Amino acid sequence: MLCKFLILVLVYLSYGCNADKKYTYKANAVSEAAEQMTVYWNADKLIGGQKFRILTMPADVAPVTTNQQFVVINKLKPMKSYEFTVFLIKGNLQTPIAYTRGQVLLKDSKPRCQFKCGGSIGPEYTYVLKAVREGPEQISLSLRNTHRSLGSGQRILLKTIPPDVPIIITDKYRIEVDRLKPSTLYTFMAYIRYLNGTLKRNPVRSMTTTFPPDDNILSDLTATVVSHDRIDLQWTETKAANRELLTYIIECHSHPGISYTTRESKYSIQNLSSETDYRFTVRSTKANVHFYPGAPLVSARTWSKGRPDFCLQCVMCTRIFSR
């Protein structure tokens, strides 16, 4: 146990003491009660299935491991400043991803708030949580107050059912949730959380179902030799789950300099060399220009110049998924 602790201290000396280091997550530390600190961290997207370890320096408490994106650390010394480094655990590797610092409240003291900290905030403002499907694995969330903007005295505690993503505390009111299950109904519950840790009693809820998986693998790709310098390609159109218009990239693997882009399910390739073997793949791309996996392959050979154009030859494709 002592050896593990010394290793963490060495890692801290390499990473945690540098407040200017570029981290992939943003962390915050707030003292909501005496001898207590709440540490929470967020990235651009909310992703489940991750494990974290939080190192506290000075080492008045042992490191904490969690699969959520916040921890409440108790038994800290009042009015003492602490530094916190968050590590992402993957197997035996621990990577520092976030850093923050904070000071613990005095005994019997309360956090200072720009707005009211307790459960009562005067008039019952109406909060609206909106969930928008972005794809088979993505949902974007937005929370707003119909009376006024949410203030710096308020944070959100977000829970998801089913719990495919961690519970988080955040001060952001637009959140992207990724790596969800396709064709799954999700319920999101946003609790307004004040600086003393009090939650607004009734959460704001929003439900939506993720899109089904994309049918993004091309099928029935054919190559038709039309003349000595022309080959026509045709395939069955793929479908994106969110009905976005897909783009197809045609690549010639036998002649790497030949490449075409289209949004149709057929394409005529002209000005080719006669009596030449050509191998084409057609790949569909997402809206962010990333390729979907898998690409069928088709081969064809152009005719000699003296061959009549009305004699057509159609060669069916051989599908491969390793490209």
Q: What amino acid occupies position 323?
A: R
List the one residue out of 38, 34, 19 whose CA is nearest residue 197: 38
Question: 């607004």: which residue's tokens?
Answer: 200
DSSP of 65-91: EESSSEEEEESPPTT-EEEEEEEEEET
Per-residue pLDDT of the chain (323 residues; tens, 9 = 90+): 555 445 445 554 444 444 445 678 999 998 888 889 999 999 888 888 899 999 999 999 999 999 999 999 999 998 899 999 999 999 999 999 999 999 998 877 766 654 444 444 444 567 889 998 877 788 999 988 765 555 555 788 999 999 999 999 988 888 999 889 988 999 999 998 876 777 877 899 999 998 777 655 666 789 999 999 999 999 887 766 556 667 888 988 888 778 899 888 899 999 999 999 998 988 877 655 556 656 778 889 999 887 655 444 444 433 433 33
The pTM assigned to this predicted structure is 0.60
State residue 16's pLDDT score: 42
Q: Please name each of the domains of the chain with its CATH number.
A: 2-103 (2.60.40.10), 127-209 (2.60.40.10), 219-320 (2.60.40.10)
**Phi, psi dihedral angles at 5 (to 5 degrees):** -65, -40
Tokens of 78: 């009042």
Tokens describing residue 8: 């963490």
- Using alpha carbons, list the distances in angstroms from residue 90 to 1, 27, 87, 93, 94: 20, 19, 10, 5, 6
In a 3-state reduction of DSSP, which class is residue 124? coil
Task: Give the residue from 254, 260, 221, 216 showing the smallest Cα distance to 238.
Answer: 216
pLDDT score at 20: 42
User: Which residue from 287, 280, 289, 286 is spatially nearest to 216, judged by alpha carbons?
Assistant: 286
Residues written for the chain: 323
Rg of the chain over all Cα atoms, to the nearest angstrom:
28
**Which pLDDT score, from 0 to 100, does residue 173 have?**
82
pLDDT for position 162? 94
Structure tokens that stand for 49 in this block: 């299935």
Structure confidence at residue 150 (pLDDT): 55
Give me the pLDDT at residue 218, please: 62
- For residue 153, what pLDDT is reported? 57
- The pLDDT of residue 98: 95
User: Phi and psi (nearest 5°) for 10?
Assistant: -65, -40
What distance in Å separates the CA atoms of residue 217 and residue 244, rounded to the nearest whole number?
15
Tokens describing residue 11: 């890692």
13 phi and psi, to 5 degrees? -65, -25
Between the alpha carbon of residue 87 and those of residues 94, 115, 117, 262, 319, the distances in Å are 6, 33, 31, 44, 43
